Structures are given as structure tokens and as C-alpha cells.
């Protein structure tokens, strides 16, 4: 397959916009499957996990290969639920283009904005598909307007719908100026109905006007009132998509098989191949400031990014990779730059959701799964040992919610540990730790649904019977003023003792996490013990001396210290640094940080007062209200996560079941002093 005929694309949107249905229709029309699967009956190819089929939602991003018009399309269907946003993040890191799906009724929803911002971060070219045009309340023009207003998308319709709601028949292609209607699964291309000719010409003029801002040839022809050919229009649209200056908008009704073939044509015509995007930037592992480029060519040295791990019951762990340069063959030895270890590539698979096709080699631009990787995890770079590079990794959001997990039978302790380790490998946004005092396992993730799915998988896939406690918020602590502290650790118990002294300055480091800087001079602490100081600090920050939550955003500057030629050791400096931190932290005006969620509520006008009063009670801050559709409004605001438990039930009650909401993690923010006192008191009582 020529690299110019390869498309690595993602399908992403808000929950319930119809992404998986769009994917299923793509598989049907490309001939990858004979029967159309549906999310509502649990038969969707892309939703192959048991938990996905039961809920009718996508949880894990699924990869599949399809072919259309002599092009290979590697398609990744991503989740819309915010609890699984890591799946979107890692997919966007490796795709070249994106289809953003919007519901013709719901328009731009909160998760649409999140996905759009993630795509902006990775500069992913995209086209938009307004789905569900057959639904009551469908409004194509309103969705286009919302894309401009809320996303800054510079949306450019390249189709015009013929009818809407129950009268939706198809669309007018503004590039070819043909009407496309559908009978069963067949598309019928014909002339534009007479009553729509004038509106279609006006819509085409608006499209050409927008393109003329970015293409001189089209601008010249437009000003001279000359005909602009189809091929020139397609070329101009493609150039604008690659430069991220416009977003072409298509429409359809995936469930009714309307518009999918045209969407496939647009994917091939307008979204980039790996060659279009040019060289990928990487770093020299030994010099972070030195940039190395790898061209998307089979003749370059091999480089790839691991972006996902799946435990398959038949072949074991599958490691999904995107190859950015060179060629990979079965049996080849590659370097994992992040781990500094060599890996031997076992088997290579081209994935078709839960089906797989074994291949002997894979080239630049491809997305494949490897079996037999021992050390590779999400975000790791694989490359040839002779020329190591480090590709940009994948950002992992912080876990904001915790849950206690207990074994029904202590004999299963090892099985539980194994299951949790595998799940952590698969999902970097999931964490766990064992609390020695309470002898409970604590799992942490992105939301209640996220942990609910994890618990189900532990029970169903790994056959470990467990009971769970109520979810609780994952708080953090930090300091608010700089403190320098001198701590001497000295123990004599006969024979060799323990001696270490550290003088460390602790400073607030908002939003930058943990940072360690050594400014000691003259060998006051031998070089071999400097890493021990850092390890001691990191260990101490896992549990603060105040409320025992993890400590974040602290800069630690090692200023001075001393050692003993006999009694100093790695352990002595670790203990010394840990105690130095604990003593200093108490004096640094520590505060508890709580996760604050960005919340959007859609409510009928009649209940706006009830909703805002309830949000205020929850320490919420309403940022703005905007008209959603006739008779309805959207409220945007920020609310602490600890106040959101049980909100779905309350919202249902105060709005007679007519409002809905969505929320996503925004950031950690300081908790009010009174609340902090409550939390600290509770923690003390539990310890006692």
C-alpha cells in the first residue's frame, strides 16, 4: 500500500452523537462486514467488550482496517464519555485526521468541546459530520453556527441537507452540485430539485467565498465570475483542511444509511495521508533540547509509538503501535527508549476490532498490534538501537475518584494483584495502592463509571470475587509558602550507625508538579547520595503528614547538608530527606486541594431557578447561561467533585426528569478552610 493511499483517522464526539453507528456503517459500506451491527442490541463490531455491549456505549478505542476507493483506512472509534477521555487522548496522538461527529439535535455538547480542544493540541486536521438529521429537532444550520461560536471551527458546509427530521431524504453536494438521495442502502445521484436550486447556488457561493480567502486561484476565478472546476475545489478544500484553517461539514443519518458513502469519499479526498503531514519531531534521549526529525518513509530508520495495551484471552497482551518511519518485521529487535531495554517483536497483527490478521511486516504510517512485548507501556517509543529517539508521549489526566476494594476470600490476593497490574498497564488513567493500616486496596480513576467498569472486569474477566465501598474523592495537598528546613538524621545502635543531614528549601510550584533541584557545592553531600534524597522526598510526598493525601506542586531545592564517611548510606539520606519534608510541610501553611469539575446542565426554562439554586448549594459557580434551543438553556459552571455525588437523582427530581448534565475534570483548586477542617478531623478519627 502506497503511503499516499493510507488514512489513519479517528472518529470522536460527545456521547450519543452516533460515533459507533457511523463506524459500523463505514465497515458495512467498505465491505469489511456483511451485516450491520447496532449499539442498541449489543451487536456493534467496534463495541466488542461485554461492558460496552450491555451499556450501548464505547469504552475502549477500537482499531480496525477498511478499504475504500483503492485507499486503506485505519479507523479508530473513540469513547464519548468523559470518564474514558484517556482513550481519546491516546488515539488523537497517533491519528492523522479526525471525523468529528455532531448530533443534529444536540449540537456542540461539552465533550465535543473537550475532544475538539484535544485535537487542537495535537494539530489534527478534521472534517465534521452532522449525524441524526432524521431526528425530531434536527437543525443543520444551527449546528454549523454552534461550531463557529463554541469551537472556533470556521465551519464550511460542503453539503446542504434535502429536508430534515422525517422529511430528510439526502443532501446536495455543493462541490459537484448534484443531489444525492437514498433507497435502502443505495445512493442515487441526480439533479438538484428545482425548488432547491437557488438555495444550493447561494450555499455554494458561500463555500467558494470562504475558500477564496485561502486560495488565490479560486479568488481570481471568483472575482472574474468564471466557473470553478470540481477538481480545483477539492484540491483547495484539502489544502485548507491540512492547514487547519477550515472545517468542511457534511450531513447524514448513519442509522438510516444516509450519507456514509459521501463521508468515506470525503475521508479519502480531504483528510491527510502520513506523507501529507511530513516529518515527525522527536528528541535525542541524551539531549532533550536537540530535535530529531523522522520522515514518513520506509527508507528511514524505524520509529513507532506504543499508544494502547489490551489483554487478549487468546494471544495474550497486544501492544498497539503507530509506525512513524521505517519498516517493522516479525522477529526484529527494537529499542524501547523510555525503558532503555531491547524488545524482540514476536507476531504482528493488523486488527479488525476483535478479529486479527497476522502479517510478517508493517511499514511507515501503519497502525498494528504486536504480541510478545515485555516492557513496553502506553506512551513508550520503539526505535532502532543504532539511532535512538524519543517521541512525544501521551498526556495522562489525574485520577479524581477513589473506591475501596475488598476480597471476599483472602486466597485471591495474588489474583487481584495480577488483575490490577494488567488493568494499570492497559489504562494509564487507572491507579491502585494498598493501604497498610486498613489492609484495603484503593482503586482510583476518572469517574464513577470508570471504576464501575474496572470492578466489573475484575469480577468477569479475571474471576476475582470482590466487594466495593462507596466512591470517595481523591484529594491532594500542597504548601502555600516557601520554607527552608535543616534536618539531621543520626542514629547510633552499636556498630555502623546512620548519619545524614539535609538543608532543603520547599517552594510552591503551581501546576508544575514535583521538581527537584540540587544546588549544593563542594561535595557536602556525595553525588551518589543525591538520588537518595530525591527518592526520600518522592516517597514522603505520597502521603502528607497532615491529612495523608498525596502532596503535589512542590519545588524542592537541596541547598546544603553533610555526611559521615562510615555511617552515611542510601537509606540514611532517604530517611533524612523524608523527615526534612514532613517537618517543613507542617510549617509551610499546607492546604487541601480538591478536584473541581466543569459542569454543563441542559434544562427547560421552567426549571432554571431550581437548577441554579441547587448548584449554589453545592458550592457551584455558574459561569454563563446560553440559549440551547427554543424553551431550553445551557448552564456552564464549576463545581467541586465532592458535591456532585448523587446529583443525577436530585436533578431528575427538581426538573421532573427533563434536564440532563455532563461533567469533566477541570483542575485541582484549594478547598475552603472550614471544609478542610472537616476533612482533617474525619481523617484523624479514622486513624484513631
pLDDT tens string 254-309: 999 999 999 999 999 999 999 998 899 999 888 878 899 999 999 999 999 998 88
- Rounded to 5°, the CA angle 355-361-362 comes to 75
Lowest mean pLDDT of 83-87, 176-180, 330-334, name the range. 83-87
The overall average pLDDT reported for the chain is 87
Q: What is the SS3 assignment for 508?
A: strand
Q: Give the residue, 634 or 88, on which the prediction is more confident.
A: 634
HEC secondary structure over 80-112:
CCHHHHHHHHHHHHHCCEEEEEEECCCECCHHH
For residue 276, the model assigns a pLDDT of 93
For residue 78, the model assigns a pLDDT of 65
pLDDT tens string 126-146: 999 999 999 999 999 999 999
- pLDDT band per the 50, 70, 90 thresholds, residue 60: very low
Return d(Cα 212, Cα 223) in angstroms, integer: 9
Is residue 27 pLDDT above 90, yes or no? Answer: no
Half-sphere CA count of 634, side-chain side, radius 13 A: 18
For residue 143, the model assigns a pLDDT of 94
- pLDDT band per the 50, 70, 90 thresholds, residue 687: low
Is residue 52 pLDDT above 50, yes or no? Answer: no
For residue 112, the model assigns a pLDDT of 79
**Which residues fall within 8 angstroms of residue 53, CB to CB, at 6 or more apart?**
42, 43, 44, 47
Return d(Cα 64, Cα 522) in angstroms, integer: 59
Is residue 494 pLDDT above 70, yes or no? Answer: no
Return d(Cα 430, Cα 450) in angstroms, integer: 9
For residue 1, the model assigns a pLDDT of 66
Q: What is the SS3 assignment for 644?
A: coil
Is residue 349 pLDDT above 70, yes or no? Answer: yes
pTM for the structure as a whole: 0.71
For residue 659, the model assigns a pLDDT of 83
Distance of CA 492 to the CA centre of its chain: 52
Return d(Cα 29, Cα 639) in angstroms, integer: 44
Average pLDDT value for residue range 643-668: 85
pLDDT tens string 613-639: 999 999 999 988 887 666 788 888 999
Average pLDDT value for residue range 147-170: 94
**Which residues fall within 8 angstroms of residue 354, CB to CB, at 6 or more apart?**
45, 48
Q: Give the residue, 149 or 33, on which the prediction is more confident.
A: 149
For residue 37, the model assigns a pLDDT of 44
For residue 482, the model assigns a pLDDT of 96
For residue 56, the model assigns a pLDDT of 37
pLDDT tens string 566-602: 899 999 999 999 999 999 999 999 999 999 998 888 8
For residue 660, the model assigns a pLDDT of 78
Return d(Cα 525, Cα 546) in angstroms, integer: 29
Grid cell listed for 163: 429536508
Where are the alpha helices (H) located in 407-484, listed in sequence order? 413-426, 448-460
Is residue 200 pLDDT above 50, yes or no? Answer: yes
Pairing of strands 126-131, 247-251: parallel
Helix or strand holding residue 556 (H, E) = strand 554-562
Q: Are 489 and 570 in contact (CB under 8 A)?
A: no
Lowest mean pLDDT of 109-118, 241-250, 299-308, 607-616, name the range. 109-118
- pLDDT band per the 50, 70, 90 thresholds, residue 84: low
For residue 61, the model assigns a pLDDT of 40
For residue 119, the model assigns a pLDDT of 87
| Sign of the CA dihedral with 577 first, then 581, 582, and 584 last | positive
Amino acid at each position: 500500500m502506497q503511503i499516499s493511499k493510507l488514512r489513519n483517522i479517528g472518529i470522536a464526539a460527545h456521547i450519543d452523537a452516533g460515533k459507533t453507528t457511523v463506524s459500523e456503517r463505514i465497515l458495512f459500506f467498505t465491505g469489511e462486514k456483511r451485516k450491520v451491527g447496532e449499539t442498541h442490541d449489543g451487536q456493534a463490531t467496534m463495541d466488542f467488550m461485554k461492558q460496552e455491549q450491555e451499556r450501548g456505549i464505547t469504552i475502549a478505542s477500537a482499531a480496525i482496517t477498511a478499504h475504500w476507493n483503492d485507499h486503506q483506512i485505519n479507523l479508530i472509534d473513540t469513547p464519548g464519555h468523559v470518564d474514558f477521555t484517556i482513550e481519546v487522548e491516546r488515539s488523537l496522538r497517533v491519528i492523522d485526521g479526525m471525523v468529528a461527529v455532531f448530533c443534529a439535535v444536540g449540537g456542540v455538547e461539552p465533550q465535543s468541546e473537550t475532544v475538539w480542544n484535544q485535537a487542537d493540541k495535537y494539530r489534527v486536521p478534521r472534517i465534521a459530520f452532522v449525524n441524526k438529521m432524521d431526528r425530531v429537532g434536527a437543525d443543520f444550520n444551527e449546528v454549523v453556527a454552534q461550531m463557529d461560536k463554541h469551537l472556533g471551527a470556521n465551519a464550511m458546509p460542503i453539503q446542504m441537507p434535502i429536508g430534515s427530521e422525517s422529511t430528510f431524504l439526502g443532501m446536495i453536494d455543493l462541490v459537484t452540485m448534484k443531489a444525492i438521495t437514498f433507497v435502502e442502502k443505495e445512493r442515487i445521484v441526480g439533479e438538484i430539485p428545482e425548488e432547491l436550486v437557488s438555495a444550493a447556488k447561494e450555499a455554494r457561493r458561500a463555500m467558494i467565498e470562504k475558500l477564496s480567502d485561502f486560495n488565490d486561484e479560486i479568488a481570481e476565478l471568483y472575482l472574474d465570475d468564471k466557473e470553478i472546476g470540481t477538481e480545483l475545489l477539492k484540491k483547495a478544500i484539502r489544502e485548507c483542511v491540512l492547514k487547519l484553517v477550515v472545517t468542511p461539514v457534511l450531513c447524514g443519518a448513519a442509522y438510516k444509511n444516509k450519507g456514509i458513502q459521501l463521508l468515506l469519499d470525503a475521508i479519502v479526498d480531504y483528510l491527510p495521508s502520513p506523507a501529507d503531514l511530513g516529518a515527525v519531531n522527536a528528541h535525542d534521549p541524551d539531549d532533550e533540547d536537540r530535535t530529531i526529525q523522522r520522515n514518513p518513509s520506509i527508507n528511514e530508520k524505524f520509529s513507532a509509538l506504543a499508544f494502547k495495551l489490551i489483554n487478549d484471552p487468546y494471544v495474550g497482551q497486544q501492544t498497539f503501535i503507530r509506525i512513524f518511519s521505517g519498516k517493522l518485521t516479525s522477529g526484529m529487535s527494537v529499542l524501547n527508549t523510555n525503558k532503555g531495554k531491547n524488545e524482540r517483536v514476536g507476531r504482528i497483527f493488523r486488527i479488525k476490532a476483535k478479529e486479527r490478521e497476522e502479517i510478517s511486516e508493517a511499514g511507515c504510517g501503519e497502525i498494528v498490534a504486536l504480541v510478545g512485548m515485555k516492557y513496553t507501556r502506553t506512551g513508550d517509543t520503539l526505535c532502532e538501537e543504532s539511532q535512538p529517539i524519543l517521541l512525544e508521549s501521551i498526556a495522562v489526566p489525574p485520577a479524581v475518584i477513589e473506591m475501596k476494594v475488598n476480597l471476599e476470600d483472602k486466597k485471591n490476593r495474588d489474583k487481584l494483584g495480577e488483575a490490577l497490574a494488567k488493568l494499570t498497564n492497559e489504562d494509564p488513567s487507572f491507579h491502585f495502592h494498598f493501604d497498610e493500616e486498613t489492609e484495603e486496596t484503593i482503586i482510583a480513576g476518572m469517574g464513577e463509571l470508570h471504576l464501575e467498569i474496572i470492578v466489573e472486569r475484575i469480577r468477569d474477566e479475571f474471576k476475582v470475587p470482590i466487594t466495593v465501598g462507596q466512591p470517595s474523592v481523591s484529594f491532594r495537598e500542597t504548601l502555600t509558602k516557601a520554607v527552608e528546613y535543616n534536618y539531621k538524621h543520626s542514629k547510633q545502635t552499636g556498630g555502623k550507625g546512620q548519619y545524614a543531614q539535609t538543608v532543603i528549601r520547599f517552594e510552591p510550584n503551581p501546576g508544575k508538579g514535583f521538581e527537584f533541584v540540587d544546588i549544593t557545592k563542594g561535595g557536602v553531600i556525595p553525588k551518589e547520595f543525591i538520588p537518595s534524597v530525591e527518592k526520600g522526598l518522592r516517597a514522603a510526598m505520597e502521603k502528607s503528614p497532615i491529612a495523608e493525601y498525596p502532596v503535589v506542586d512542590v519545588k524542592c531545592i537541596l541547598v546544603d547538608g553533610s555526611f559521615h564517611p562510615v555511617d552515611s548510606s542510601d537509606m540514611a539520606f532517604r530517611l533524612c530527606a523524608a523527615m526534612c519534608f514532613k517537618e517543613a510541610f507542617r510549617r509551610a501553611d499546607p492546604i487541601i486541594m480538591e478536584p473541581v469539575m466543569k459542569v454543563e446542565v441542559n434544562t427547560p426554562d421552567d426549571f432554571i431557578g431550581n437548577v441554579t439554586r441547587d448548584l449554589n448549594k453545592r458550592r457551584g459557580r455558574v459561569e454563563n447561561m446560553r440559549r440551547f434551543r427554543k424553551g431550553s438553556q445551557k448552564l456552564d459552571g464549576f463545581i467541586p467533585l465532592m458535591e456532585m455525588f448523587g446529583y443525577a437523582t436530585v436533578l431528575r427530581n427538581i426538573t421532573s426528569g427533563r434536564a440532563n448534565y455532563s461533567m469533566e475534570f477541570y483542575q485541582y483548586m484549594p478547598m475552603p478552610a472550614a471544609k478542610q477542617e472537616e476533612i482533617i478531623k474525619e481523617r484523624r478519627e479514622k486513624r484513631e
